[in-house]
Amino acid sequence: MQFAILGPVEARRPDGTPVAVGGPQLRGLLALLALDAGRFVGAERLIDGLHGEQPPEGAAEALQSQVSRLRRRLRDGGAPDGLVEFTPAGYRLAVDPQDVDVHRFERLTAQARETPDPAAKLALFTEALALWRGPALDGLADPPRAARLAELRLAATEDRVEAALALGHHERLVAGLRELAAEHPLRERLTAQLVRALHGSGRSAEALAVFAGIRARLADELGADPSPELAAAHLAVLQAAAPAPARWVPVPLTAFVGRAELDRLTAALDGARLVTLTGPGGAGKTRLAVEAAARAAGEVCFVELATTTDVPRAVLAALGLREQGVLAPGAAADPADRLAAGLADRPLLLVLDNCEHVVAEAARLTRRLLGECPGLRVLATSREALGLTGETLVPVGALPADAAERLFTDRAAAVAPGEAPAPGAVTRICAALDGLPLAIELAAARLRSLSADDVAARLGDRFALLSRGDRTAEPRHRTLRGVVEWSWDLLDPGEQLLAGRFAVFAGGARPAAVERVCGVPEAGLTGLVEKSFVEFTGGRYRMLETIRAFCAGQGDDRRAAHARYFLDFASALEPKLRGADQLTALAELTAEHAELQAALRWSATEDPATALRLIAALSWYWWLRGLRSEATPVADTVLAAVGPEPPPGLAEEYVLCVIQASATDVEIEPILRRLDGPLRYPYLFLLWAFSPRTKAKEGERLAALIGPDAWSRAFARIGDGLGAQYGGRIAEAEAHFSAALEAFRALGDRWGEASALEKLAEFADWRGDHARFRELMDEAVRLAGELGAVEDAADLLCRRADGVLRQGDAEAAKADYEAAAEQARAAGTPVTLARARGGLGEIARRAGDLTAARRWYASALSLAADPVTGGETRIRVHTGFGWTAAAEGRLAEATELHQEALATALEHTNLPGAAQAVEGLAGVLAAREEHERAAFLLGVAVGLRGAPVTGDADIDGVADLIRARLGAEAYRTAFERGREAPPEQAVREAGQRRFALGS
C-alpha cells in the first residue's frame, strides 16, 4: 500500500484507489506513524501529536482503541495483517519508508541536490514537488512538523527554480515567482530569483523595481540590508550590456491544428540542446517548429535554409549580426567564427528549417556552435537527422485521423465558406493522403471548384489533382509532386532503384520480404529510412502511399517476385492454422493482409496458377477470420482466366476457387472424381458443404477423401456428430462431439474446440443442465474471440442467448443478441444478423409485445433469404411467427407458418428443426382443444429430435394444458405413441394436419 501525507492524509491500494481511513483522529494517527514509517513511535509522542500539550483524560486508552480501528480500516481496505505493529517501545507502521510520499520527497530532493546536471536536477525537483497535493498534514494537529515540511517544500521549490534559471527558462518562471515572492515578501532568495528571471526575459526595468521594493521592506521591517545573493542579482542587471533579445519567428496565416508531437517537442527542448524534427516531405515539420518556437521563452531566431547552400551566412543574416556591428573590429571574417563569437554569451533558441539538402554543412555548424556557446539551443527540421552525438530526434509522421479531418475541414472553410464537406468524403481523402498535412491542405484548396466527393474520387491520380498550391510558396511546397520530387532528388541512384522496387509492397514489409522480393540486403534500406522515404516501425518497413504512388514504375517490376514470396509465406502458414500455432499463424497472415491481397490481384490476371494456389492457402484463414467474401472478386477473375478445367495438379485448388466465386457454370462432379487420396486441404469438405452449389453426392465424394491425420479425424467426428444429431440420434451425436472436442484440444485447434463445445452445450441445454450449458458456451465464445472470428463469435452469442432465454433470463439474452447483431453488422453477415433479430423477436413475444415481435421477425426473415445458410433461421422465425399468430387467435395462419418451418427443416434434413415446427403445430392443436392429437405431436417432436427439451416455456405451457385436460395417463399414452412412431410416419402424419387444421 501507499501512504500520502503531503496534503490530505490518504492510504491507497496498489492500484491507486483510496482506502476509507476514517475521521480526523484516525487520519492523524496514520500520519504520525507514516512520518516515522518503519520505526517505532512511543505512545506519548503519538498522544502529543494528536492532542497537543494538554491531552484529555483517558488519552492512552483512547489511543489503543484508535490503533485497533485503524488496523481494521486498513485490513478492510486490503492491507495485510500486522501492518500496524505494537511492542513495549511503541507502535510501528511496518512499511518501506519509500511507500510514504514524504520519504520519497526527501530522497528525490537529496538526489537532486547531488546532481550537477541542471536538466536532471530540474526533472528530479519537479518529480519531488509533484508529490504535494496541498499543505502537509492538512487539517491535523502537530504544527511544528507541518511547519518543518512546509519549509522543506519551499526550499525545494527555490532549488527547482535555480535549475530552471540555469537552463534559461526565464520567461516561464516569472509569473510563479511573483506569486511566491508575494506569499513570502521577506524571503530574499525568492526575490533574487525573480529579479534574475525578469532580467533574463528582457524586462530589466521590472527587475530593478522588484529589487527596490524588497530593499525598502527589509530596511523598514528588519533594519537590514539585502543579502549577498540578492545584491549580486541586482548588480548583474546594472552591469548587463547584452543586445536586446531577438525574437524572429514567422507568423502563420492559418490556425494550428494541435498534434501530439508538439508536447513531445516541448519536452525535448526542455531537456536537450539539439532537437531535430524528422519526417517525410509535407508532414508539417516546419509548422510544428514554428509553433514550438513561438511558445519558447527568451530569444528565438528562425532560419530558413531551403533556398541556400551557405548555412553560416544564412544564420548570420537571420540574426542581423553583420548589420548591427555587434562584433569588435578586427574579428575573424569567417562566418562560423563570427557566429561563435556573437552567440557566446547569449541564451538563444536557433531554429534551422529544411536542412536535408545541406545536412552536412548544418551539422558541422551546429556542432561547433553548441560546443562554444553554452546558452545556445538548436531546433532543426530535416528529412534526415544531423547525426550528432547528443541529438534528440522527434519523428513527425502522419496526422491521426481525427486531427487530419479537422485540418481539412478548417482549410476547406477558408476556401469554400458555408459549405461543409461531406464527412465520409473527408475521411476517405485524409486516409488516402496518409494524413500528410501539406497534401490535405492542397486537397482542401481544390474545394474552390470541386466537391469533397469529387476530390476523393480523383485521388487515383493525386499528383495531377493536387497541382495547385500557394503560388508564393517554394516550388517543392507548391504541389504534391514537387514535395516528393524534392525528396527523390536527394536519393543516390542506388537508393532510387531500391525505392522503386520497394513500391511493390502495398502495406509495408518485414526485412526477410525486402531481401527476397527486392533482391538486396535489408541494410540497403538504411539510407531510405534515414531520409524519411521509408518508415521503420514495429519490425516493418513502410512507405507512405503518396510516396509509393510516386515510386511505382520508377524501378524494375517486382510483382512476380512479390507474388511468389507471399505464396510461399501463406503456404507455410496454412497447416499451422489447424493446431496449437493457430493464433500465431492468424496474426502473421493478418499482418500481411494487404500484401496477400496485392499478390492475389496481380496473379489473378498475370499468373492464374499462382492465384489458385494462393486462394487455396488462404481459404481456411478467410473462414476463421470471417472474411469469407473477400476472395470472391479475385476468384471470379481467376475462373474467367483458367476456364472450365483446372490446371494439372491443381484440382483441389480449383474447387476451392469455385467455392469462393460468386457464380459459375463449372461442373464440379467430374473434377471431384479425379481426386485421389486424402485431401491436401481437408476443410474443403466444410467449405463445400456451405457452398450454394453443394450437391449431396459431391459432398459424399469429398467426405470419403478426408485423410487419416489427427485434424482430419477430429473434423470427421464433427461431421458424424452433425449427421447423427440431424438424424435424431442424440446419444450418438454427443459421443462424436465429445471425441472431437478431446481431439481438437489435444491439437490446440480453437476453431474445432469451439465447434464441438457449441453442440455439447446445446445438448446440456436440452437436458436443463443450465450450469453446464453456460460453462461450455462461455468457453466457445471465448475461443472464437481469441481467433478473431467475428462471424463465428456473433453466431455463438446468438446460440448462448437462445439457452439463456430458455432459462428465463431475458435481460442476459437481450444483451447477447444485441452484441451479436452489432458484430454481425460490422462483419456484414446478414444470416447472423437475422438470427439475432429473430432472437429479439422471441424476447418481445415472450414478454407479450406481439407487435414488436412481428417487427423483429419480419426484419429477420428479410435477411435470411439465402437458401443454404438461412435455412435454420427461417425455421426459427416462421415458428416464432406461428406462436405469435396462435396467441392472437389466428390459428389457420399459425398452422401455415409452422408447416412452412417444417417444410424448410425437411428440405435441409434438419430433424431438430422439424421437431421445433411440430411442437408449434401441437400448440395450435391444443388451442383447438384437440388435446390427444397435440400430445401425440409433442411425442413426435421428441422422437425427431432424439431428446426432450427441458425448460422451454412454450412447450411446457402446452404440455401442462394438455395434461390437465386429458389426465396424466391419457397424455402419457398419446405422447409415447408419437415418440415411438417411425420418423417418416411421424412427419407424414404431422404434415397431413395442414388440411385438417385449416378446415
The tens digit of pLDDT for each residue in 495-522 reads: 888 888 998 998 889 989 999 998 887 7
pLDDT at 998 over 70: no
pLDDT at 428 over 80: yes
State the average pLDDT over residues 598-612: 94
Residues recorded for the chain: 999
Q: Residue 321: its pLDDT value, please?
A: 65
Residue 247 bridge partners (DSSP): 300
Please give the Cα distance from 379 to 298 (Å, whole number): 14
Q: Which helix (H) or strand (E) holds 349?
A: strand 348-353
Q: How confident is the model at residue 327 (pLDDT cuts 50, 70, 90)?
A: very low
Please give the Cα distance from 363 to 347 (Å, whole number): 20
520 half-sphere exposure, CB direction, 13 A CA radius: 16
The answer to whether the beta carbons of residues 597 and 605 sit under 8 Å apart is no
Measured over the CA atoms of residue 814, residue 816, residue 821 and residue 826, the dihedral's sign is: positive
Please give the Cα distance from 128 to 112 (Å, whole number): 9
pLDDT at 492 over 80: yes
Q: Residue 145: its pLDDT value, please?
A: 77
Please give the Cα distance from 533 to 547 (Å, whole number): 7
Q: How confident is the model at residue 692 (pLDDT cuts 50, 70, 90)?
A: low
State the average pLDDT over residues 300-324: 78
pLDDT at 960 over 90: yes
Q: Residue 820: its pLDDT value, please?
A: 92
828 half-sphere exposure, CB direction, 13 A CA radius: 6
Q: What values do phi and psi take at 540, rounded to 5? A: -130, 145
State the average pLDDT over residues 273-300: 86
Q: Residue 991: its pLDDT value, please?
A: 58
Closest CA to 352 of 284, 267, 264, 286: 286
Q: Residue 2: its pLDDT value, please?
A: 87
Q: How confident is the model at residue 354 (pLDDT cuts 50, 70, 90)?
A: confident
Q: Which residue has the higher pLDDT, 107 or 552?
A: 107
Least confidently predicted of 323-332, 672-681, 855-864 = 323-332
Residue 376 bridge partners (DSSP): 348
**Cα 997–Cα 998–Cα 999 angle in degrees, nearest 5:** 95
State the average pLDDT over residues 419-432: 83
Least confidently predicted of 186-195, 688-697, 786-795, 953-962 = 688-697
pLDDT at 472 over 60: no
The DSSP line for 296-325 is: --SEEEEEE-TT-S-HHHHHHHHHTHHHHT
How many Cβ atoms are within 10 Å of 717's Cβ, its own excluded?
A: 22
pTM, to two decimals: 0.61
Q: How confident is the model at residue 629 (pLDDT cuts 50, 70, 90)?
A: confident
AA letter at 529: V
pLDDT at 992 over 70: no
Give the pairing type, strands 90-93 and 299-304.
unpaired
Closest CA to 624 of 662, 576, 586, 569: 586
Residue 105 in grid coordinates: 520527497
Give the pairing type, strands 40-41 and 376-382.
unpaired
240 half-sphere exposure, CB direction, 13 A CA radius: 25
SS3 of residue 247 by DSSP: strand
Mean pLDDT of all residues in the chain?
84
Q: Where are the alpha helices (DSSP H) in 788-849?
A: 790-806, 810-827, 830-846
Q: Residue 867: its pLDDT value, please?
A: 64
pLDDT at 738 over 90: yes
The answer to whether the beta carbons of residues 817 and 797 sit under 8 Å apart is yes
Q: What values do phi and psi take at 349, rounded to 5? A: -100, 115
pLDDT at 704 over 90: no
Closest CA to 792 of 763, 755, 818: 755
Share of the chain above pLDDT 90, in %: 33
State the average pLDDT over residues 352-360: 89
pLDDT at 48 over 90: no
Q: What values do phi and psi take at 303, rounded to 5? A: -120, 120
How many Cβ atoms are within 10 Å of 252's Cβ, its own excluded?
A: 12
Q: Residue 691: its pLDDT value, please?
A: 63
State the average pLDDT over residues 55-74: 82
Q: How confident is the model at residue 237 (pLDDT cuts 50, 70, 90)?
A: confident
Please give the Cα distance from 791 to 789 (Å, whole number): 6
pLDDT at 150 over 50: yes
Longest Cα–Cα distance of the chain, Å, equals: 126
pLDDT at 329 over 50: no
Q: How confident is the model at residue 324 (pLDDT cuts 50, 70, 90)?
A: very low
**For residue 619, what are the contacts with CB-CB under 8 A and spacing of at least 6?**
631, 656, 659, 660, 681, 683, 684, 687
Give the pairing type, strands 392-395 and 274-278.
parallel
Q: How confident is the model at residue 568 (pLDDT cuts 50, 70, 90)?
A: very high
Identify the residue whose cell numbers are 537532486: 112
State the average pLDDT over residues 430-434: 79
Least confidently predicted of 191-200, 401-410, 556-565, 860-869 = 860-869
Q: Which helix (H) or strand (E) holds 558?
A: none
SS3 of residue 888 by DSSP: coil
The tens digit of pLDDT for each residue in 197-214 reads: 988 887 877 888 888 888
Q: Residue 989: its pLDDT value, please?
A: 66
State the average pLDDT over residues 756-782: 92
pLDDT at 637 over 50: yes
Q: Residue 332: its pLDDT value, please?
A: 43
Q: Residue 240: its pLDDT value, please?
A: 63
The answer to whether the beta carbons of residues 498 and 520 sit under 8 Å apart is yes
Least confidently predicted of 81-90, 832-841, 948-957 = 81-90
pLDDT at 868 over 70: no
Give the pairing type, strands 274-278 and 376-382.
parallel
Q: How confident is the model at residue 617 (pLDDT cuts 50, 70, 90)?
A: very high
Please give the Cα distance from 791 to 775 (Å, whole number): 21
Please give the Cα distance from 560 to 568 (Å, whole number): 12
Q: Residue 906: its pLDDT value, please?
A: 86
State the average pLDDT over residues 404-431: 81
The answer to whether the beta carbons of residues 513 and 505 sit under 8 Å apart is yes
**Cα 882–Cα 883–Cα 884 angle in degrees, nearest 5:** 90
pLDDT at 141 over 80: no
State the average pLDDT over residues 596-603: 94
